[in-house]
């Protein structure tokens, strides 16, 4: 099946002015997003996951700017848009975002109903009664019990999970083509998280939107994603299908992220922990940004930035280890058979 | 071998005023923590797990029941000396390293505050040496003593929080979600550090968490708490192999594992209290197998015993 590219990022560079200095938050990212897929973007805080997706909706902070590259969407370059008026035709209508904390993305002093109908009235030009009916339908759809009765309630009367359902309802009110979920469940309890993840998957089947998930939780990634992009220090260092990233990762940073997961820990043994800290993005990064923390680093990592090496049609990684001249390195034992290991752990068969 | 119990909680109830009545946050909590082990208390927000931790360090007053530390009831009026002993011996590590350190104090002050309050040194040299030693134990350097909390990263700040607790040479440490606010790559470091310190000092941990997958790795025994009630308590291995209470099972099913095959195949179990019919048979907290307790009534126990076979 031929997949259609819905959004395409080419050589994107994003910089910020911070106290007379320039910070390069996104360093040359290229990425294709396919129609109807779920792409997860993973990385540590500060790796640039949120900054990158903010450029898709023109929501960069005022000290940030796109210093290079293009973002193609519906035949136009989003990176070239400068007026807020233009953005308003895209943001929320064609590309919508669900943020982490549902309490701060809802207006605390306006009723839930009015916050949903506002969007419907503004973007779909419906009148009051029609908008209300649509809003209640949406509330039902995202799983609010007694939606009609709760239409006039306020955010504080909703639980965290219910609030996030409302935020999702608002995001979907305009039938966007792309839904960006920025850590949508990080502030929620695990059982509620599982319900919200399921809800987004169900809605995606029904409304046929494309989802971008931003998360640091590899468990969530395994649950939702078809494709995964791993970010480090403002770059994507590895892309692949979820299966490729979890079962045959190639980049040492992906190895490190996976090996340090407490879920894989064996009692009585130490967990793997990544030494050091990410590089400062105020300075120019020489070579591979992960090299100083990478136990597998080779000489050239400190000299020259690695290119992407193609592993399969869907799998690419940016590490010199894939160069034919590089020494052969096996991934850490702990993640060589991830599925087997987790199955064994869940059955209690792994011990020291 | 009979293991030494360091802390016992008996029929504990903690309530807060709510309007004209009272809101019961924790009810009938019963458990023992053995010396040298890591005991985990797992539940969702609002389950009362933090309340139990806070009532053990006596921030939250209790309304019923007993908390017994080293054979002595501590949730009642204590003599000044006993009080000091309890404060020194039970220390806490908080969730958010960004808010649990005094922003306007130096690291030296933050770490030695307890020493000063308890006059645990003979000279300034001794105090300084103790601070440097405890910083070294958590992987920080001597030159850090003059710095302020904002100069440190989240993981380092959590280490400072740990050093502040450790310097008191406590016997029991209550760690309330110590890694939830930390970045993925830092979590492993902090867990490893806690483990190392435990082995070196023979510490006992009460580890409070919402994430069962983290707890599996670190704890010896786990109590699962739901809406103020401990519904199941067992060895870590038993709890993961034979979860009995439907709430435990729903929690286990909800934890996302970093494994696409099992994640995509998994079925979500949703727990509601309507699953239980307690109209005829009343439930109680029963030891269904050695060391494995569950909150259930007679017909449910019957079912659970079948599961254990």
Closest alpha carbon within chain B to A222: B260
Most A CBs within 10 Å, among B184, B200, B243, B269, to test the A interface? B184
Most A CBs within 10 Å, among B258, B264, B272, to test the A interface? B258
- CB interface of A with B, residues 175-204, below 8 Å: 189-195, 197-198
Cβ burial of B235 (10 Å; 0-12, 13-18, 19+) is: middle
Residues 6+ apart with CB under 8 A from A224: A38, A40, A197, A200, A201, A211, A213
Name the strands in the sheet holding A21-34, side by side, starting at the edge strand that comes first in the sequence. Answer: A21-34, A5-18, A64-73, A76-77
pLDDT surpassing 70 at residue A337: yes
Decide: B303 and B288 in contact? Cβ < 8 Å.
no
Pick from B116, B96, B102: nearest CA to B182: B96
Decide: A23 and A284 in contact? Cβ < 8 Å.
no
Q: DSSP letter string over B199-227?
A: HHHT-EEEEEES-HHHHHHH-SEEEEEET
**Cα(A242)–Cα(A248) distance, integer angstroms:** 10
- CB interface of B with A, residues 218-247, below 8 Å: 218, 236-237, 240-241
State the smallest CA–CA distance between residue B45 and chain A in angstroms.
7
Q: Give the pLDDT of residue A352.
A: 43
A260 contacts B185? CB cut-off 8 A: yes
Tell me the chain B residues in contact with residue A198 when contact means C-beta distances shorter than 8 Å: 268
Decide: A215 and A198 in contact? Cβ < 8 Å.
no
Q: Please tell me which of the candidates A44, A223, A348 has its beta carbon nearest to residue B263.
A: A223
Mapping DSSP to helix (H, G, I), strand (E, B) and coil, where does residue B137 land?
helix
**Cα(B266)–Cα(B269) distance, integer angstroms:** 9
CATH topology of domain B5-242: Rossmann fold (3.40.50)
pLDDT digits (tens, 9 = 90+) for B93-108: 998 888 899 999 999 9
- CB interface of A with B, residues 29-68, below 8 Å: 44-45
pLDDT surpassing 70 at residue B1: no
Q: DSSP letter string over A252-307?
A: HHHHHHHHT-GGG--TTSPPP---S-PPPTTSPPPS-TTGGG-TT--GGGGTS---
Mapping DSSP to helix (H, G, I), strand (E, B) and coil, where does residue B54 land?
helix
**Cα(B59)–Cα(A62) distance, integer angstroms:** 44
Q: Please tell me which of the candidates B258, B261, B270 has its beta carbon nearest to residue A261.
A: B258
Q: Please tell me which of the candidates A44, A189, A270 has its beta carbon nearest to residue B184.
A: A44
Is A221 an interface residue toward B (CB < 8 Å)? Answer: yes
Tell me the chain B residues in contact with residue A103 when contact means C-beta distances shorter than 8 Å: none
pLDDT digits (tens, 9 = 90+) for B140-184: 888 899 999 998 888 889 999 999 999 999 999 999 998 887 877
Pick from B181, B193, B123, B195: nearest CA to B153: B181
CA distances from B46 to A235, B134, B210, B275 (A): 39, 34, 11, 20
Per-residue pLDDT, averaged over A185-214, amounts to 90
pLDDT tier for residue B297 given thresholds of 50, 70 and 90: very high
pLDDT digits (tens, 9 = 90+) for A164-186: 999 999 999 888 999 999 998 88
Is B216 an interface residue toward A (CB < 8 Å)? Answer: yes
The first and second tokens of residue B68, run together, are 């017994």
Which DSSP letter does residue B294 get?
A: E
Tell me the chain A residues in contact with residue B240 when contact means C-beta distances shorter than 8 Å: 346, 348
B188 contacts A262? CB cut-off 8 A: yes
Per-residue pLDDT, averaged over A307-315, amounts to 96
A347 contacts B189? CB cut-off 8 A: no
Per-residue pLDDT, averaged over A76-103, amounts to 90
Q: Give the pLDDT of residue A2.
A: 60
Is A219 an interface residue toward B (CB < 8 Å)? Answer: yes
Most B CBs within 10 Å, among A40, A48, A348, to test the B interface? A348
Is A216 an interface residue toward B (CB < 8 Å)? Answer: yes
pLDDT digits (tens, 9 = 90+) for A7-56: 999 999 999 998 899 999 999 999 999 999 999 999 988 899 999 999 99
Give me the total of CB pairs closer than 8 Å, taking one residue from chain A and one from chain B: 135
**Cα(B177)–Cα(B166) distance, integer angstroms:** 17
Question: Other C-beta atoms within 10 Å of B11: how many?
Answer: 12
pLDDT tier for residue B298 given thresholds of 50, 70 and 90: very high
The helix or strand, by DSSP H or E, that contains position A34, with its residue range, turns out to be strand A21-34
**Cα(B226)–Cα(B43) distance, integer angstroms:** 6
Decide: A12 and A30 in contact? Cβ < 8 Å.
yes
Decide: A71 and A79 in contact? Cβ < 8 Å.
yes
pLDDT surpassing 50 at residue B88: yes
Is A256 an interface residue toward B (CB < 8 Å)? Answer: yes
Q: Please tell me which of the candidates A217, A270, A343 has its beta carbon nearest to residue B262.
A: A343
Average pLDDT, chain B: 91
Most A CBs within 10 Å, among B257, B270, B273, B274, to test the A interface? B257
pLDDT surpassing 50 at residue A288: yes
Is A145 an interface residue toward B (CB < 8 Å)? Answer: no
- CB interface of A with B, residues 305-334, below 8 Å: none
Q: Give the pLDDT of residue A333.
A: 87
pTM of the predicted model as reported, rounded to 2 decimal places: 0.89
Closest alpha carbon within chain B to A261: B188
Mapping DSSP to helix (H, G, I), strand (E, B) and coil, where does residue A173 land?
coil
A339 contacts B263? CB cut-off 8 A: no
**Cα(B127)–Cα(B122) distance, integer angstroms:** 8
Q: Please tell me which of the candidates B187, B270, B271 has its beta carbon nearest to residue A262.
A: B187
Per-residue pLDDT, averaged over B188-207, amounts to 93
State the smallest CA–CA distance between residue A352 and chain B in angstroms.
12
Question: Other C-beta atoms within 10 Å of B301: how many?
Answer: 17
Question: Other C-beta atoms within 10 Å of B308: how many?
Answer: 13
A191 contacts B254? CB cut-off 8 A: yes
B187 contacts A191? CB cut-off 8 A: no
Per-residue pLDDT, averaged over B118-131, amounts to 93
Decide: A87 and A58 in contact? Cβ < 8 Å.
yes
Tell me the chain B residues in contact with residue A247 when contact means C-beta distances shorter than 8 Å: 260
pLDDT surpassing 50 at residue B44: yes
Q: Give the pLDDT of residue B104.
A: 93
Least confident of A126-130, B44-48, B181-185, B211-215: B181-185
A129-138, long-range: CB < 8 A, 24+ apart: A134/A173, A135/A169, A135/A173, A138/A169, A138/A172, A138/A173
Closest alpha carbon within chain B to A342: B259
Decide: A190 and B44 in contact? Cβ < 8 Å.
yes
**Cα(A237)–Cα(A311) distance, integer angstroms:** 13
**Cα(A14)–Cα(A66) distance, integer angstroms:** 4
Angle between helices B154-166 and B107-118 (to 10 degrees): 20
- CB interface of B with A, residues 83-122, below 8 Å: none
B184 contacts A216? CB cut-off 8 A: yes
State the ipTM, two decimals. 0.84
Question: Other C-beta atoms within 10 Å of B133: how many?
Answer: 13
**Cα(B130)–Cα(B152) distance, integer angstroms:** 21
pLDDT surpassing 70 at residue A296: yes
A277 contacts B184? CB cut-off 8 A: no
pLDDT digits (tens, 9 = 90+) for B253-272: 888 889 999 888 888 888 88
The first and second tokens of residue A312, run together, are 């399969």
Domain ranges in chain B are 5-242, 243-309
H-type alpha helices, chain B: 49-56, 80-89, 107-118, 124-137, 154-166, 184-201, 212-218, 236-241, 246-254, 260-265, 298-308
Q: Please tell me which of the candidates B189, B217, B237 has its beta carbon nearest to residue A273.
A: B189
**Cα(B139)–Cα(B134) distance, integer angstroms:** 9
Question: Other C-beta atoms within 10 Å of A12: how many?
Answer: 23
Q: DSSP letter string over A59-125?
A: ---TTEEEEEEEEEETTEEGGG---HHHHHTTBTTTEEEE-S-HHHHS-TTS-HHHHHHHHHHHHH-
**Cα(A300)–Cα(A303) distance, integer angstroms:** 5
């Amino acid at each position: 099946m031929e997949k259609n590219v819905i959004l395409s990022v080419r050589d994107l560079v994003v910089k910020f002015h911070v106290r007379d200095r320039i910070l390069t938050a996104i360093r040359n990212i290229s990425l294709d997003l396919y129609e109807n897929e779920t792409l997860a973007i993973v990385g540590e805080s500060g790796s640039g996951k949120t900054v990158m997706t903010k450029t898709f909706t023109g929501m960069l902070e005022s000290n940030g700017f796109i210093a290079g590259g293009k973002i193609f969407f519906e035949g136009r370059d989003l990176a070239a848009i400068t007026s807020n008026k233009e953005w308003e035709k895209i943001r929320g209508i064609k590309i919508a975002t669900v943020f982490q904390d549902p309490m701060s993305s809802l207006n605390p002093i306006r009723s839930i109903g009015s916050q949903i109908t506002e969007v419907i009235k503004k973007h779909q030009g419906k009148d009051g009664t029609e908008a209300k009916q649509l809003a209640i339908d949406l509330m039902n759809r995202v799983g609010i019990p007694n939606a009609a009765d709760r239409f006039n309630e306020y955010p504080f009367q909703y639980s965290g999970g219910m609030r996030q359902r409302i935020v999702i309802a608002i995001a979907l009110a305009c039938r966007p083509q792309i839904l960006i979920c920025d850590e949508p469940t990080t502030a929620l309890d695990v059982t509620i998280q599982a319900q919200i993840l399921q809800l987004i998957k169900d809605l995606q089947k029904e409304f046929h939107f494309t989802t971008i998930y931003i998360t640091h939780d590899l468990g969530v990634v395994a649950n939702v994603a078809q494709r995964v992009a791993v970010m480090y220090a403002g770059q994507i260092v590895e892309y692949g299908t979820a299966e490729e990233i979890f079962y045959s990762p190639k980049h040492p940073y992906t190895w490190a992220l996976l090996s340090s997961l407490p879920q894989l820990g064996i009692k009585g043994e130490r967990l793997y922990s990544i030494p050091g800290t990410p590089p400062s993005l105020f300075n120019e990064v020489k070579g591979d940004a992960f090299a100083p923390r990478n136990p597998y680093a080779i000489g050239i990592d400190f000299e020259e930035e690695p290119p992407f090496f193609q592993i399969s049609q869907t799998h690419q990684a940016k590490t010199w280890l894939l160069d034919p001249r590089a020494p052969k390195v096996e991934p850490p034992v702990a993640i060589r058979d991830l599925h087997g290991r987790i199955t064994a752990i869940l059955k209690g068969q792994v011990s020291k | 071998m009979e293991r030494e119990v360091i802390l016992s909680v008996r029929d504990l109830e903690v309530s807060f005023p709510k309007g004209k009545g009272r809101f019961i946050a924790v009810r009938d909590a019963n458990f023992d923590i053995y010396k040298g082990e890591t005991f985990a208390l797992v539940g969702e927000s609002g389950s009362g797990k933090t309340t139990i931790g806070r009532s053990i360090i006596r921030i939250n007053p209790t309304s019923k029941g007993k908390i017994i530390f080293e054979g002595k009831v501590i949730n009642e009026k204590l003599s000044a000396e006993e009080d000091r002993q309890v404060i020194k011996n039970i220390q806490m590590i908080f969730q958010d390293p960004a808010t649990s350190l005094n922003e306007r104090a130096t690291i030296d002050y933050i770490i030695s505050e307890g020493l000063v309050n308890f006059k645990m040194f003979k000279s300034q040299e001794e105090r300084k040496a103790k601070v440097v030693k405890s910083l070294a134990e958590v992987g920080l350097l001597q030159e850090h003593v003059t710095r302020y909390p904002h100069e440190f990263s989240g993981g380092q700040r959590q280490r400072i929080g740990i050093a502040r607790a450790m310097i008191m040479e406590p016997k029991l440490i209550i760690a309330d979600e110590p890694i939830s606010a930390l970045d993925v790559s830092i979590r492993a470091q902090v867990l490893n550090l806690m483990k190392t310190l435990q082995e070196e000092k023979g510490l006992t941990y009460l580890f409070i968490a919402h994430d069962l997958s983290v707890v599996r790795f670190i704890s010896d025994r786990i109590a699962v708490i739901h809406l103020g009630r401990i519904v199941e308590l067992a060895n870590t291995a038993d709890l993961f192999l034979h979860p009995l209470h439907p709430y435990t099972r729903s929690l286990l099913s909800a934890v996302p594992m970093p494994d696409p095959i099992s994640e995509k195949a998994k079925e979500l179990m949703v727990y509601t209290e309507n699953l239980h019919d307690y109209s005829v048979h009343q439930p109680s907290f029963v030891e269904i197998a050695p060391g494995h307790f569950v909150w259930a009534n007679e017909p449910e126990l019957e079912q659970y015993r079948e599961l254990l076979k």
